[in-house]
Amino acid sequence: MSLPTFTMRQLVEAGAHFGHHARRWNPKMASYIYGKKDNIHIINLQKTYPMLYTALNAAREVAANGGKILFVATKKQAQDVVKENALRCGQYYVNYRWLGGMLTNWKTVHKSINRLVKLNEMFENNQTEGYTKKEILNLKKEQEKLAMSLNGIMNMGGQPDMLFVIDTPKESLAIKEAKKLGIPVVGIVDTNADPTEVDYPVPGNDDAIRAITLYCELMSAAIVDGMASEMEAKGVEVEASEEETAETKAPKKRATRKKAEEKAAE
């Protein structure tokens, strides 16, 4: 098995090189900026390419060791893409709003998940007898609100082993919580971001839908490859399936790091 391949041409065609307006830049991104065009910073894709490869390889290793990876992107244009690709590789996502304490106060988050499960069961089984119309409406609103924030992590079963973040300034709370817990972060860093805030920065456009789609598809493919490697290390023959989702996949035992490294070296 191997990492998904990508080319400089794909990055260019996706518009990954277009940064923000020059006045919005973060000086810590200076070494990743090629220049300016019409006062828009241009990202040096010669630096993006190897950094993206390194990030994908790190995610693959986490997956190969049975780890859980959480996709985080709450900006509107990224919501559907992030959900789709997280589900495709059987992982987890937050694409609506990051709730404070989602990582650092998992016990409280778990209670909210249990509440959502009960509400889902109530409406699926038509167990609303005895409630007034107003009470049912309020319960429905509560269910919808919880679902928007928690659907993507309902079966995560605890803290993830890695975060994959689109737009690091916007998702700063998630990154801070991950850092506090020692959870590594892969982050797409545009010209307004601080690349030192994440473990695996990938300089690139974090606004263009084509660029976001490319990053997410590559990440999903790398994770699938890592999961397949884990199964092969156990002597199990598997076929990647898009039907295994974050809502339905069962937790699996971790492969030993030694086995994963031996497989990756082949």
The enclosing H or E element of 187 equals strand 185-189
How far apart CA 170 and CA 167 sit, in angstroms, is: 6
Q: What is the pLDDT of residues 147-200, one digit of tens each?
A: 999 999 999 999 999 999 999 999 999 999 999 999 999 999 999 999 999 999
pLDDT for residue 237: 59
* pTM (2 d.p.): 0.85
Is residue 96 a contact partner of residue 71, using CB atoms and an 8 Å limit? no
Predicted local confidence at residue 233, as pLDDT: 72
In this structure, what token pair is assigned to residue 240? 């990647």
User: So what's the pLDDT on residue 242?
Assistant: 44
Q: What is the pLDDT of residue 236?
A: 64
User: What's residue 21's pLDDT?
Assistant: 96
Question: Average pLDDT, whole number, for the chain?
Answer: 90
Nearest partner of 193 among 177, 178, 209, 207, judged by Cα: 207
Domains annotated on the chain, with CATH? 8-58+70-103+159-217 (3.40.50.10490)
**pLDDT band at residue 256, thresholds of 50, 70 and 90?**
very low
pLDDT tens digits, 215-241: 999 999 999 999 998 787 777 655 544
pLDDT of residue 238: 52
Distance CA 34, CA 253 (A): 44
pLDDT reading at 79 higher than 70: yes
